[in-house]
Amino acid sequence: MTAPAIDFDAARRLLAYCDASPSPYHACATAAALLGEAGFTRLAEDSAWPGEPGRWYVVRGGSLIAWVTASGHDAHDGFRIVGAHTDSPNLRIKPQPDVVRAGVRQLGVEAYGGVLLTSWLDRDLGLSGRVAVRRNGTGALVRLLRVDRPVCAIPQLAIHLDREVNTNGLVVDAQHHLTPLWGIEPPAGAGASAASGTAGFVGFVAHELGVAASDVLGWDLMLHDLAPGALVGRDDELVGSARLDNLASCWAAVEALTEVAPSAGDGPVPVVCLFDHEEVGSTSDRGAASTLLPTLLERSVLARGGDRESLHRALARSACLSADMAHATHPNYADRHDPEHRVALNGGPVLKLNANVRYATDAPGSALVALAAEQARVPLQRFAMRSDLPCGSTIGPVTAARLGITTVDVGMPQLAMHAAREHAGSHDPARYQALLAAFLAPA
């Protein structure tokens, strides 16, 4: 088997996707723009769906699902589904965030997901997410907000005040040590207090959106690292970026779907699902544990003239690939990995297995991925956790349980998972995308 030539352009496209997507809502907007360029049409969930063939997608908050139906598709044809997630561990703004300590204005934040807290220290941080604002005096609309300038920072304590930090390690208390700085409180009588008018957080958000402070009704806002993604290494062998887990999978899935869309009628119905809230358990109105995907699959079948029997026949012929990042073997902590399951950066996509079904992979699913790797002409690695360490999980087991279909977990290898900035191999994005395309459209 001859592997395809190294494609640095794919790595650059991945980095551009990550840079454009500081929040799950921006990740969906970026994906929607790519799909729109490829001829996909957005459908509203509260409208009747067309029965004719086409390229479609829906967005619900920070989740997006896209699929292709062709004239050759019957209502009972199976689905090939690639699932990923748009959210990453980060710091989210509390509902009453304004804090003043020692003459410094700060913002109250809450850790979202399994954040590697120390990685957020001493970085320039921007603000992103969505805001609900008043419309016409009565209703409300949701607007995206992105502030790409350093409005926050979390300075570390000077070593002179913590002499043992290099020997005993840094312990970060999320309540007391992780409150970002975002300004200096004027002396009494010299200006507005931190919680008032334009000085407070609500006033700041209102100013950025060009609305009155009283029109800001709620937000889902978070901090993001402002350092752009980059090729890293002597010969550009690596990529460094925020949110590789799991925007790398979102990017690869969307590109794979647009690649197979022109020939979709020759095989199963290809579907890509980008879910929010995986990092906190997937239990929400738009997470993998919700009715979002099952309902969409049913509506797709009904729109093509099928019924419930057609749906169950289609599910019996379906399979799902849960695309989520994988742990590469860390050269500085090689003892934390199973010695018989080393995973190399630039070694190709990773098939993830766990005896306790923290990953959904089983033998039939493994076969589907192995065949897809052969079709795509990419190497395939296999990962299992050390037997004495707990294993993470993905949307794979949740999706398998919700739909009752063969599901397999696959990822792209990386280092520093859940850090504010992560690293992966620059050769792997193209291989990952090729594998997902082969899975969506098996030969």
pLDDT given at position 158: 95
The percentage of the chain sitting over the pLDDT mark of 90, rounded to a whole number, equals 92
**Quick one: pLDDT at residue 140?**
94
CA 396 to chain centre: 14
- List all residues 6 or more positions away from 209 whose beta carbon is below 8 Å from its beta carbon: 131, 133, 143, 145, 216
pLDDT for the residue 265: 83
Query: What is the Cα–Cα distance from 328 to 416, expressed in whole angstroms?
Result: 9
Q: Give 169's contacts (C-beta < 8 A, 6+ positions apart).
A: none
Report CA dihedral (26, 259, 395, 243) to the nearest 10 degrees.
-40
pLDDT the model gives residue 275: 98
Count Cβ atoms within 10 A of the Cβ of residue 237 and give its class: 0-12 exposed, 13-18 middle, 19 or more buried.
Answer: middle
Low-confidence ranges of the chain (pLDDT < 70): 1-5, 137, 189-199
Q: Are 104 and 186 in contact (CB under 8 A)?
A: no
Sign, CA torsion 383/384/386/389:
positive
End-to-end CA gap in the chain: 16
Sheet containing 230-232: which strands, arranged edge to edge? 230-232, 238-241, 422-425, 413-415, 326-327
CB atoms within 10 A of CB 209: 15
Residues of the chain with CATH 2.30.250.10: 90-225
CATH 3.40.630.10 location in the chain: 8-88+242-440
Rounded Cα distance, 112 and 267, in Å: 39
265 CB neighbour count, 10 Å cutoff:
15
The predicted pLDDT at position 196 comes to 45
421, amino acid identity: R
Distance CA 299, CA 311 (A): 9
Give the pTM.
Answer: 0.95
CATH 3.30.420.10 correct for 90-225: no
Q: What distance in Å separates the CA atoms of residue 67 and residue 213, rounded to the nearest whole number? A: 40
Query: Cα separation of 118 and 381, whole Å?
Result: 30
pLDDT at 136: 83
| CATH number for region 8-88+242-440 | 3.40.630.10
Please give the structure tokens belonging to residue 170: 């840094």
- pLDDT of 345 reads 98
Q: What is the pLDDT of residues 188-200, one digit of tens each?
A: 765 554 444 456 9
Please answer whether residues 399 and 40 qualify as being in contact, where contact means their C-beta atoms are separated by less than 8 angstroms. no
pLDDT, position 7: 79
HEC string for the chain? CCCCCCCHHHHHHHHHHHHCCCCHHHHHHHHHHHHHHCCCEECCCCCCCCCCCEEEEEEECCEEEEEEECCCCCCCCCEEEEEEECCCCEEEEEEEEEEEECCEEEEEEEEECCCCHHHHCCCCEEEEEEEEEEECCCEEEEEEEEEEEEEEECCCCCHHHCCCHHHHCCCCCCCCCCCCEEEECCCCCCCCCCCCHHHCHHHHHHHHHCCCHHHEEEEEEEEEECCCCEEECCCCCEEEECCHHHHHHHHHHHHHHHHHHHHHHHCCEEEEEEECCHHHCCCCCCCCCCCHHHHHHHHHHHHCCCCHHHHHHHHHCCEEEEECCEECCCCCCHHHCCCCCCCCCCCCCEEECCCCCCCCCCHHHHHHHHHHHHHHCCCCEEECCCCCCCCCCCHHHHHHHHHCCEEEEEECEEECCCCCCEEEECCHHHHHHHHHHHHHCCC
pLDDT tens, 126-161? 999 999 999 986 789 999 999 999 999 999 999 999
